[in-house]
Amino acid sequence: MTKLTVNTARPYDIMIDRGLLEKAGALSRGVNAGERALIVTDSNVAPFYASRVVASFDAAGYQADVFIFPAGEESKRLTTISEIYARLAKNRLTRGDLLVALGGGVTGDMTGFAAATWLRGIDFVQIPTTLLAQVDSSVGGKTGVDIPDGKNLVGAFWQPVLVLADTDTLDTLPREVLTDGMAEVIKTAAIKDLCLFEMLENRDMDGANREPIISRCIDIKRGVVERDERESGERKLLNFGHTLGHALEKHYRYTGLT
């Protein structure tokens, strides 16, 4: 296991290893003493992992429930956030309880935003299941949703209390989704790290190679976030390519492109 600590205003640990899903509840207990947990995931991820994660949180003493939304960027809207709020209210989650993001970037962004705004802020744990989310979106505290005027225009900076990157989840990714993540890995190397470039040239992204590559990407982003948590300077480097990419996504109404 690799463990990295992000020293922001609200410090937290990132753990990278195989088999973390079954340990998620127990590990979350180390940072949250609440009674209830709501696990947010999408319709693609839920059949693979939802029951295992719910069982892990139940075993750790949480009253765990799961909220499943339709997979895709089209769900990253305030209407979905309202549905999450309704489930939080129904389950009576208090400020001491926990939200859990189980999935890719859309899931993490929405869950983090719901956590930042429910009762003016509750704890949340990131369990990223895509390569892109593991190396980028689960780290740094950016949360948000899309509106018709643009992508991620409504959001908040809200750091998780824990990030659990289980590299086994990459085994179930479609090739095109894994390729999305590799593009982010290459981007990270392009803006910050020649050594990472050399690592990518000499290693495949499978098996034992996953953890060191993912860990290196996270370590690079961690350093940037620690120096510029709220993106007033250096952190803008991490947006390399976003200006054009977000414009294309908006033009195509967040369908067909990711």
In tens, the pLDDT along 49-107 reads 999 999 999 999 999 999 999 999 999 999 999 999 999 999 999 999 999 999 999 99
User: In total, how many domains does the chain have?
Assistant: 1
The answer as to whether 131 is a domain residue is yes
Task: Indicate the pTM of the whole model.
Answer: 0.91
Please report the pLDDT score of residue 129 as a whole number. 98
Dihedral angle sign, alpha carbons of residues 245, 235, 135, 120:
negative
* Cβ 123 vs Cβ 34: under 8 Å: yes
The DSSP call for residue 207 is G
Instruction: Identify the H or E element spanning 102.
Output: strand 98-103
Instruction: CATH number of the domain at 127, please.
Output: 3.40.50.1970
Give the three-class secondary structure for 150.
strand
Please report the pLDDT score of residue 254 as a whole number. 67
State how far the Cα of 23 lies from the Cα of 226, in Å rounded to an integer. Answer: 27
Write out the two tokens for 146. Answer: 């899309």
The answer as to whether 257 is a domain residue is no
Please report the pLDDT score of residue 230 as a whole number. 86
Please report the pLDDT score of residue 256 as a whole number. 62
The answer as to whether 256 is a domain residue is no
The answer as to whether 202 is a domain residue is yes
* Cβ 38 vs Cβ 187: under 8 Å: no
Please report the pLDDT score of residue 252 as a whole number. 77
Picking from 53, 140, 78, 153, the residue whose alpha carbon sits closest to that of residue 105 is 140
Please report the pLDDT score of residue 188 as a whole number. 87
The answer as to whether 258 is a domain residue is no
How many whole angstroms from its chain centre is CA 69?
A: 16
State how far the Cα of 28 lies from the Cα of 133, in Å rounded to an integer. Answer: 19
* Cβ 114 vs Cβ 222: under 8 Å: no
The answer as to whether 228 is a domain residue is yes
For residue 156, the enclosing domain spans 2-251
The answer as to whether 35 is a domain residue is yes
Compute mean pLDDT per 10 residues along the chain, 258 residues long, and list them: 96 98 99 98 99 99 99 97 99 98 99 99 99 95 95 96 98 91 88 82 76 93 90 76 72 67
